């Protein structure tokens, strides 16, 4: 057992269920299976770089407000680091650290040549005007000019950031580089060097691996019921593609609560409703209103938590009735719920596999930007499906070999790949 080192250093008190604690618990389990030596464990547990910046913004009122921004580079063993940037009132360094290391394992699992990183700005984006959001984004980027770069560290969208935010990052970086550098960020608008299929990629990947899991269990999508938590980019696309597969999507949810219809929800119509309603399902009348907690505990075949971290923990894991959980969000299940779900025989497709479609198409976008040659949507989706499918099959094999869960297999495979590469590169100095 690994008892010393980074994780034990005094630092901010960790919540019992903090994403960083969950990540470390699973990391330690995999490290034991791999018999990683202590030095390698220390290396892979410690982020390469953690940057905290303050971001002064002149608000529309004329007053200055100062925000805090983070970028954590967990590692760059496999290549330049890659990972999204989130804007949220509760973002903090511990959370960003966990998310950055998940990016490392995620990239390793789908075989894209990137290390892992994550960024965030502690702010409430719903209270910022478009102008304030732009000034905040540009100043954050400007503070990170030495960190970001197409060969160094490449951001992307995450919670509450979108194509427009990526366009401002690209422009700010390019203005300072005195040339247009599209490959410095992914998830850009198509017109600025974005990729076909990038917006839908995470949800599409979730559905690819869900179908692969159904296949292993001998289940058919058109005989399945599905509940989806979260109706943002990942949740709405996952719901829509499962609906297209003939599955009955019996529940969806967003910040306004959950919506349940035992006969199934017409997802394209619900999407259209939300689009015309400030991106909220509030007031959607073709379903019964339920709470988020009730949604998670519904009797269904497939549960797709696609909202945020720490939704299924020790307190409710025992009540989950789904047969398969496909983690659209990062970290929706805490580590202390893992064994409860395992004992119930629920197959969990872990986040670092299930939602890796986003970074996979980010990789395609980066490749296309660097080549100046753009692919059709058909090519993007075909390659995405193949990579996700291969990753699923691969991890399934690892899980059978070691008689472990898919999540444990994902950590074992990801960590082993980075550790093996690191051994070949050696330690400089």
Residue spans of beta strands (DSSP E) within 18-163: 49-58, 64-75, 81-88, 115-122, 153-157
Q: How many residues are given for the chain?
A: 429
Site string for ligand GLU, 378-397 (x = CB under 6 A): --------------------
CB nearer to ligand GLU: give 195 or 385.
195
Give the residue among 241, 250, 248, 242 at the shortest CA–CA distance from 223: 248
* Residue 82 makes contact with ligand GLU by CB under 6 A: yes
| Distances from the Cα of 155 to the Cα of 174, 335, 401, angstroms | 14, 27, 35
Residues 231-260 that bind ligand GLU (CB under 6 A): none
Sheet holding 64-75, edge to edge: 49-58, 64-75, 115-122, 81-88, 153-157
Residue spans of beta strands (DSSP E) within 213-309: 225-229, 248-254, 257-260, 288-290, 302-305
Min dist. Cβ of residue 331 to ligand GLU (A): 10
Min dist. Cβ of residue 158 to ligand GLU (A): 4
One of 69, 83, 193, 205 touching ligand GLU (CB under 6 A): 83
Is residue 159 within 8 Å of 86, Cβ to Cβ? yes
Active-site residue (options: 21, 82, 106, 118): 118
Min dist. Cβ of residue 156 to ligand GLU (A): 3
Task: Report the alpha-carbon distance of residue 401 to residue 398 in Å, rounded.
Answer: 5
Token output for 211: 């179908």
What is the four-CA torsion angle of 130, 131, 137, 143, rounded to 10 degrees?
A: -170
Min dist. Cβ of residue 83 to ligand GLU (A): 5
One of 19, 84, 230, 258 touching ligand GLU (CB under 6 A): 84
Site string for ligand GLU, 321-360 (x = CB under 6 A): ---------x------------------------x--xx-
One of 101, 160, 186, 229 touching ligand GLU (CB under 6 A): 186
Q: Among all residues, which ones are annotated catalytic?
A: 118
Binding residues vs ligand GLU (CB under 6 A): 82-84, 156, 158, 186, 330, 355, 358-359, 362
């Amino acid at each position: 057992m690994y008892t010393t080192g980074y994780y034990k250093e005094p630092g901010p008190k960790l919540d019992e269920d903090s994403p960083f604690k969950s990540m470390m618990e699973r990391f330690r389990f995999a490290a034991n299976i791999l018999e990683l030596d202590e030095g390698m464990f220390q290396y892979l547990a410690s982020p390469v770089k953690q940057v905290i910046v303050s971001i002064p913004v002149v608000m529309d009122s004329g007053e200055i407000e100062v925000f805090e921004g983070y970028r954590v580079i967990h590692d760059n063993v496999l290549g330049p680091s890659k990972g999204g940037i989130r804007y949220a009132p509760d973002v903090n360094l511990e959370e960003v650290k966990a998310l950055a290391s998940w990016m490392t394992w995620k990239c390793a699992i789908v075989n894209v040549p990137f290390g892992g990183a994550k960024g965030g700005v502690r702010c409430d984006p719903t209270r910022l005007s478009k102008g304030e959001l732009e000034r905040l984004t540009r100043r954050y980027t400007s503070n990170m000019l030495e960190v970001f770069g197409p060969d160094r560290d490449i951001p992307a969208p995450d919670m509450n950031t979108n194509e427009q935010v990526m366009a401002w990052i690209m422009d700010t970086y390019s203005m300072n580089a005195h040339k247009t550098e599209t490959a410095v960020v992914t998830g850009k608008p198509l017109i600025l060097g974005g990729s076909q299929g990038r917006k839908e990629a995470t949800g599409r990947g979730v559905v690819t691996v869900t179908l692969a899991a159904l296949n292993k269990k001998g289940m058919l999508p058109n005989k399945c019921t599905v509940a989806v938590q979260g109706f943002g980019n990942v949740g709405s696309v996952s719901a829509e593609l499962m609906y297209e597969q003939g599955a009955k999507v019996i529940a969806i949810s967003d910040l306004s609560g959950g919506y349940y219809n035992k006969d199934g929800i017409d997802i394209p119509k619900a999407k259209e409703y939300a689009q015309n309603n400030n991106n909220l399902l509030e007031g959607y009348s073709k379903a019964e209103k339920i709470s988020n907690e009730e949604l998670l505990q519904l009797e269904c075949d497939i549960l797709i938590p696609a909202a945020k971290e720490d939704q299924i923990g020790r307190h409710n894991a025992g009540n989950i009735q789904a047969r398969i959980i496909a983690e659209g969000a990062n970290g929706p299940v805490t580590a202390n719920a893992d064994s409860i779900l395992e004992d119930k025989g629920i197959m969990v497709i872990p986040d670092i596999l299930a939602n890796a479609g986003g970074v996979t198409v980010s990789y395609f976008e980066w490749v296309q930007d660097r080549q100046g040659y753009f692919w059709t949507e058909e090519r993007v989706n075909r390659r995405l499906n193949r990579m996700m499918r291969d990753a699923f099959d691969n991890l399934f094999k690892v899980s059978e070999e070691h008689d472990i869960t898919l999540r444990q297999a994902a950590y074992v495979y990801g960590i082993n790949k980075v550790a093996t590469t690191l051994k070949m590169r050696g330690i400089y100095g």
